[in-house]
Structure 1
Amino acid sequence: MTQGRSIRLFLVDGTPSGLLTAEIMNWTGHVLTGPRSKLSELVQRPECGCTGIYFLVGTDPEGNPRPLVYIGESDDVATRLKQHNRPEEKGGKDFWEKVCLITSKDQNLTKAHVKYLESLLIKNAGEVGRCKLINGTAHEYIGLPESDRADMAFFMEQVRTVLPVLGLDFLRDATKPSAATGTPDPQDAQASPRFVLEASRHGIKAVGQEVDGEFFVLEGSLARREWAGPYHSYQKQHAQLCEEGVLVDNGNDLQRFTKDYAFSSPSAAAAIVVGRAANGRIDWKVAGSGLSYGEWQDQQVSAAAPSAEQSPS
């Protein structure tokens, strides 16, 4: 079982929409984040005068459901952020809406450290595939001794732990379901049973599994080739998956999933499979039983809730 972690959050101005700091026990890293509207306050913070890594995050104006992310490093982050805040025609970046800065409480991060971290983080963000990187290809930086590289690998893992807590998911690995042809491990409390979605009229059959809060459609599942329903936000995601090769032609107006793919909800997964808005809580059925996802989840919640006799009076 995964061990719990403590993360200390501090609302700098007392509001959840303002500046926020985060720290993990026994980690020298320090996180400062806030919206672009608070940039004038953020750049006055002492952290911004230190050496660090920073992330600029915003939505894609072309409708891509993945956020746009720029990963950078600097000896003086305040100066760099001021440059990024300029109008785009003056060398700035217009897309970002939120900034996150990672520095060290003991101020032992050097320029060499952050350049190496930047390289690792760009590479990792590209491999995870949860965002659209503005940086492009990562430049490999190997100018660190072996011991420092080990320290930076640990530092990066703490960054990847704390960012999702702050709503920045682009470095979070997807917890993969067990092999598509295998049987879920009954000891894995994070994995659900297999679910099946079938539309025999169109020849569609997809298999899904919920793991660690995400709903996966498994490799080899079949989906409708074209979006068939009225316009919906999932339609852009359907087109995006085709462009990225997650969905490829399988003949007979069908497409096939080339890999396990994580969706934010059963309904999002069902919509991509059937090519229209769908209620995944009804459409996905537990394999072999016909129980809907919603009914299965209700059983889990009911079994976990204390009975009236056990409840305190």
Structure 2
Amino acid sequence: MQAPFSLRIFVADGDPDGLRIVERSNWVGRALVFPRAAWAQPSVATRPELQQTGVYLLLGPREDGEGDRLYIGEGDPIKPRLSDHHTGIKQKDFWTRAICFVSMGQGLNKAHVQFLEANLIRLAKQAKRVPLDVENKKNETEPTLSEADRADMQVFLQHMLGMLPVLGVHAFEQPPQAPAASAPELTCKGKGLLARGYESTQGFVVKAGSQAMADLAPSLLNHFAGTVAKRQELIDLGVLAQQGSAYVFTQDYAFSSPSLASSVVLGRSSNGRMDWKDAQGRALKVLQADA
């Protein structure tokens, strides 16, 4: 079980959708969260944190409009890099919000942020929850750090990863290794296939080895573009791999809802609260009502 922590969020310009400064209890790190539209405003442009060395995330909609896209970068300092991504030679059109992390203690150096960047890219690739910008698809090599610096950056990284879901970023989350004691394993069956999964705090987790239909129902294709796009994304990312006449989950994967999970598995529109059942045949809806 992870240790509890608290976050202090300061709305720097009085606009809850504008610049927010986020600090974690008992940690030297600090996060700046702001929309792209605020980049040129003095409340953002003059922040001293952006003159420091740090690591940053750029998030925005994918080209098909279905979900987020992510770019992970580092800067020494951050501000010139973000300026370049805004209107410079490395401009990126997709991003609509940024999250920057710096240290208010001794400060981060170039090797520190390269370490953080490399590990964030590695974790995002493993989780396969959000497509990475093409520049992040190359293999990232960690810089050489002393044993002490490496230990410090591992702690810094873990604090960042704990904060990001609270800030609405789930790109790095790995599904829990096993369901909680109160979450029984459930199955979803259809036309000779079987999928297994369970509820978690991250969503509904479908387990590795579960099967999914190879063909999609016309009704899903015609009326549920988001589900079709999510399924194709999982195929492109390698989460779903074709095996014989069906697809198979190559890893545990957390969906935002049981219905999205069962729709991807069954290849049709599905009410996950009815189609996921326990060993006694009781639907998830019944189990939730009895809890």
Same fold (TM over 0.5): yes
- Corresponding residue of 1:97: 96
**TM score, norm. by length of structure 1:** 0.84
Instruction: Give yes or no for the alignment of 1:208 onto 2:197.
Output: yes
Q: 1:40 to 1:298 in 2, by over 3 A?
A: same
Deviation at 1:261, TM superposition (A): 2.0
Q: Hey, what's the Cα distance between the residues in 2 that align with 1:116 and 1:2? A: 23
Deviation at 1:297, TM superposition (A): 1.1
- Corresponding residue of 2:60: 58
Q: Hey, what's the Cα distance between the residues in 1 that align with 2:206 and 2:78? A: 41
Percent of aligned pairs with the same amino acid = 37
Structure 1: gaps of 5 or more residues: 179-187, 301-313
Counterparts of residues 59-78 of structure 1 (less than 5 Å): 59-63=61-65, 65=67, 67-78=68-79
- Corresponding residue of 2:216: 227
Q: 1:126 to 1:220 in 2, by over 3 A?
A: closer
Q: Hey, what's the Cα distance between the residues in 2 that align with 1:255 and 1:164? A: 29
Tell me which amino acid in the other structure corresponds to 1:53. Answer: V
SS at match of 1:160: helix
Deviation at 1:70, TM superposition (A): 1.4
SS at match of 1:117: helix
Describe the superposition over 1:56-108 as per-residue Cα deviations: whole angstroms up to 9, x where unpaired: 1112103554x221111112222221111017xx4311111110110111242
Instruction: Give yes or no for the alignment of 1:249 onto 2:251.
Output: no
Q: Hey, what's the Cα distance between the residues in 2 that align with 1:249 and 1:143? A: 39
Deviation at 1:51, TM superposition (A): 1.3
Question: Does the 8 Å CA contact 2:188/2:275 hold for their aligned counterparts?
Answer: yes
Instruction: Give yes or no for the alignment of 1:120 onto 2:158.
Output: no
Q: Hey, what's the Cα distance between the residues in 1 that align with 2:124 and 2:248? A: 25
Question: Does the 8 Å CA contact 2:175/2:205 hold for their aligned counterparts?
Answer: no
Q: Hey, what's the Cα distance between the residues in 2 that align with 1:206 and 1:136? A: 30
Q: 1:126 to 1:256 in 2, by over 3 A?
A: closer
The root-mean-square deviation of aligned C-alpha atoms, in Å, is 2.0
Structure index of larger Rg? 1
Tell me which amino acid in the other structure corresponds to 1:98. Answer: R
Tell me which amino acid in the other structure corresponds to 2:107. Answer: N
Instruction: Give yes or no for the alignment of 1:164 onto 2:155.
Output: no
Question: Does the 8 Å CA contact 1:50/1:107 hold for their aligned counterparts?
Answer: no
- Corresponding residue of 1:46: 48
Instruction: Give yes or no for the alignment of 1:217 onto 2:217.
Output: no
Question: Does the 8 Å CA contact 2:242/2:248 hold for their aligned counterparts?
Answer: yes
Deviation at 1:267, TM superposition (A): 0.3
Tell me which amino acid in the other structure corresponds to 1:296. Answer: L
Deviation at 1:160, TM superposition (A): 0.5
Structure 2: gaps of 5 or more residues: none
Describe the superposition over 1:38-64 as per-residue Cα deviations: whole angstroms up to 9, x where unpaired: 111322211111111111111210355
Describe the superposition over 1:139-197 as per-residue Cα deviations: whole angstroms up to 9, x where unpaired: 3233321111110111011110111110011122221336xxxxxxxxx34x5111122
**Residues 146-155 or 105-114, more deviating:** 105-114
Q: 1:132 to 1:28 in 2, by over 3 A?
A: same
Question: Does the 8 Å CA contact 2:57/2:99 hold for their aligned counterparts?
Answer: yes
**Residues 290-299 or 151-160, more deviating:** 290-299
Counterparts of residues 240-279 of structure 1 (less than 5 Å): 240-251=233-244, 253-279=245-271
- Corresponding residue of 1:305: none
Deviation at 1:235, TM superposition (A): 0.6
- Corresponding residue of 2:154: 153
Tell me which amino acid in the other structure corresponds to 2:105. Answer: D
Q: 1:72 to 1:222 in 2, by over 3 A?
A: closer
**Residues 14-23 or 254-263, more deviating:** 254-263
**Residues 210-219 or 272-281, more deviating:** 210-219
Q: 1:140 to 1:255 in 2, by over 3 A?
A: closer
State how many pairs are aligned: 283
Q: Hey, what's the Cα distance between the residues in 2 that align with 1:245 and 1:114? A: 29
